[in-house]
Amino acid sequence: MHSFENTIQKLRSEGFKLTPQRLAVIKYMIGNKSHPSALAIHKELKRRYPTLSFSTVYNTLNMLQKIDEIRSIHVFDDHLNYDPNTEPHIHFLCSKCDMVHDIFLEQAEGIQVYAGEIDGHLVDSYELFFKGTCKDCR
């Protein structure tokens, strides 16, 4: 995600109403590296905002995705997770603790991901997941 102010400006330009609950979702996502699900965000924020509905969380995440401030990642079969880092990177899923870690291309020696045209196909984005045991669980 970009700055809070930039995100708010983009949302306002889309006509999105900024309630305290929606602002809480936005603030929760800025800099968040845990790749939370909508349910996890709802559970966490409901403590401070008892009237917060799951649909508010879900709709706010969808709007943030629409304006390219976050992206959804399909790590688990039963739900989406959300990542405020929209820069190209790889995700690593630990099979022991179920944590999702970011791996940036400069950290992944020998891995090359091509952007542009490949065999006549124009690549706009990519998703690459590694699975294994994270350094904390090893």
Q: Which domain holds residue 116?
A: 90-132
The predicted structure's pLDDT at residue 118: 82
Is residue 98 in some structural domain?
yes
Pair 72, 104 in one domain:
no
pLDDT in tens, 38-92: 999 999 999 999 999 999 999 999 999 999 999 999 888 788 999 999 888 889 9
70 and 95 inside one domain: no
Same domain, 11 and 77: yes
Express the helix, strand and coil content of the chain in percent, nearest 5 each: 35, 20, 45
Q: Model's pTM, two decimal places? A: 0.85
Contacts of 62 (CB under 8 A, 6+ apart): none
